[in-house]
Amino acid sequence: MKNFKPLALSAAVVAATAGFAGAANAQAISAGNVGDIALVPYYTVRDGMITGVHIVNTTDATQVVKLRFRRGLDSMDALDFNLIMSPRDEWVGFISGTNETDMKVKTGDSTCTAPLSPNGDGVYPMPVAGNGETDIAFNEGAMEGYIEIIGMAQTSDESQAIAVAAKHSLDGKVNDNGVPVDCVGVESNFFRNAEIDAAGVITTDQNAVGVLASDLTHGEYGAAKTLRPSTYVNTPAGALSVSYFIRNADSGVEMGGRAVHIDEYATQPMMSNQQIIINREYDPYGYFYPDLDGGSPQEMQRGRYVAAVRPALGVNSLINEWSLGTADRGIDTDWVVTIPGQYLMLRLNEYLDTLIGVGNCTAGEGCDNRDIPVKATIDILDREEDRTVITPENPGLVISPGTGSKDPDPVTTLPNEVNVITWSGGTEDTADVPGAFNSQYRQNFALNTEGAIYGWAELSVEASTAKTQAVCDVDSLVEEDLVVRAVFDCLDLRVAEPVPMIGFTGWRRVLPDQPEAEYGRLIDHSFVVSS
């Protein structure tokens, strides 16, 4: 049975805010770089690059963690699987690929995963349309994106069957090869076997293998496949510490940093299964949960995007340095600006229909309620406090949709969840320089600098005015032709926090007198929230 996260069309039943509780106890970005969820602002596999992730379980308890790669175009789920991390465990892996059809996550780590790697070699290929795993080519545009790391649950205690099986020990003794006790048994906790009625009562045989509720799973362990339950509590504060790196495999240049952590996000366990969904049937415990809005809508543990994520990440502007990329200087500078969670602001089933040419997901129909495309205004200075000599080549240029602007500052829009602004010179031969990442999502910002070659800038953003921002979630379930389908509703965000943004500046440099040497660094953005 193939149970690797296949992105079937039906799987895209959405996330959003049934059970919305408002933003009263808003969480904040963790200053200590630990949390129960973490976001890596950018990954890329373009031009021989790989992106690696280090995830540390800082606790003395077993943690179940969702690792999900979202493509940069529209944050659709391109690849995900679960990590079952024993106490004080660390998992390390990286994503690579030469094109959109051969991308994969690789690891040499022995930590149990669900599913297990298909060939037992630590390789998790990205699902590709037409191979029986997905109806939609979510791999298209997925050579770049961002990464969600979400704490799904913690075992209620270390005597739970899944915790015992996931440990890198046997009878209290560390295995010589560092391999967990029974990863096959661990994996069996993530099959789709539970059925839950409208009242939230489990109607399936209690002895079924798999996810029965967010706080209960059953697995088969050992040669005899003994059936054993495991129970869970929410992932605690500070459970995860995540870092990442971006490396050019050819040149060896590497840059990286800490992920953005949000603490006290989880309020309940958020366990989900990892098995294929067929016939567009709604699955309240499917692999598309948890997301940035919470766990299963069946249990109404939603509303976290508004209550926790947007207050933590909502900003009015970001600040960072710039340096013009020209052939003679050997410098490339890219600003990565990621706007996470926009998939929660779509009626996702309708949006997915649009991707296969059925229907039309528009703001006018209430399907697309995203912040994007955001209006972006950039205030640019050199290092000597002078902004008057730095002017855009096309002042007031607006990439539609937009209403134009009479402001003296350069204006554009950021259309994607992941945006890359490449700083280039204002002449024809430099107006389309590849930048630090040669991004498919790049927007070259060509400047007539009148001699200025570096400085700093402030990028201010406003949500799209062509639509009313809203978060969408499952409102009710209906049965059609013996298949359960979800009906969605969207809640206005008229008084919501500013647009959520994360990201950094990536610098790459090749010195003219040392062409064989290449250098790189990454600088996190500074952010401003208007009072």
What digits encode the pLDDT tens for the residues 23-76?
A: 333 346 777 899 999 999 999 999 999 999 999 999 999 999 999 999 999 999
User: What's this model's pTM, rounded to 2 decimal places?
Assistant: 0.88
What digits encode the pLDDT tens for the residues 131-189?
A: 555 678 889 999 999 999 999 999 999 999 999 999 986 555 555 567 899 999 999 99
Higher per-residue pLDDT: 351 or 135: 351
Q: Tell me the three-class secondary structure of 230-255, residue by residue.
A: EEEECCCCCCEEEEEEEEECCCCCEE
Q: Is the dihedral of CA 298, 301, 304, 307 positive or negative?
A: positive
Calculate ∠ Cα 313-378-148, nearest 5°: 30
Q: How far apart are CA 495 and CA 499, in angstroms?
A: 12
Indicate whether 203 pLDDT > 90. Answer: no
Indicate whether 78 pLDDT > 60. Answer: yes
pLDDT at 408: 42
Higher per-residue pLDDT: 371 or 474: 371
Indicate whether 348 pLDDT > 50. Answer: yes
pLDDT at 152: 97
Q: Which of 63-77, 318-332, 335-349 has the lowest mean pLDDT?
A: 318-332
Indicate whether 386 pLDDT > 70. Answer: no
Q: List the strands of the sheet with 391-392, edge to edge.
A: 391-392, 442-448, 418-425, 331-338, 502-509, 519-524
Indicate whether 390 pLDDT > 60. Answer: no
Tell me the two tokens of residue 131.
């191979």
Mean pLDDT of 459-470: 90
Q: Which of 76-85, 96-105, 324-333, 401-410 has the lowest mean pLDDT?
A: 401-410
Higher per-residue pLDDT: 329 or 356: 356
The torsion region of residue 138 among left (phi > 0), alpha (psi -120 to 50) and beta comes to alpha
What digits encode the pLDDT tens for the residues 136-152?
A: 888 999 999 999 999 99
- At 380, the pLDDT band (50, 70, 90 cuts) reads confident
Q: How far apart are CA 5 and CA 80, in angstroms?
A: 7
DSSP state string for 488-524: EEEEE-TT--S-B-EEEEEEEE--TT-TT--EEEEEE
Highest mean pLDDT among 144-148, 223-227, 303-307: 144-148
pLDDT at 433: 74
Indicate whether 201 pLDDT > 50. Answer: yes
Percent of the chain with pLDDT over 70: 78
What 3-state DSSP class applies to 148? strand
Cis ω before 180 (30° cut-off from 0): no
CA neighbor of 8 nearest in space, from 140, 129, 138, 134? 134
Q: Residue 165 gets which letter from DSSP?
A: H
Q: How far apart are CA 330 and CA 241, in angstroms?
A: 35
Mean pLDDT of 201-223: 83
- At 13, the pLDDT band (50, 70, 90 cuts) reads very low
Q: Is the dihedral of CA 425, 429, 432, 434 positive or negative?
A: negative
pLDDT at 174: 53
Indicate whether 499 pLDDT > 90. Answer: yes
Higher per-residue pLDDT: 215 or 492: 215
Percent of the chain with pLDDT over 90: 51
- At 252, the pLDDT band (50, 70, 90 cuts) reads confident
Q: Residue 290 gets which letter from DSSP?
A: S
pLDDT at 398: 34
Higher per-residue pLDDT: 481 or 466: 466
Q: Which of 213-217, 221-225, 323-327, 399-403 has the lowest mean pLDDT?
A: 399-403
Higher per-residue pLDDT: 249 or 498: 498
Mean pLDDT of 297-317: 88
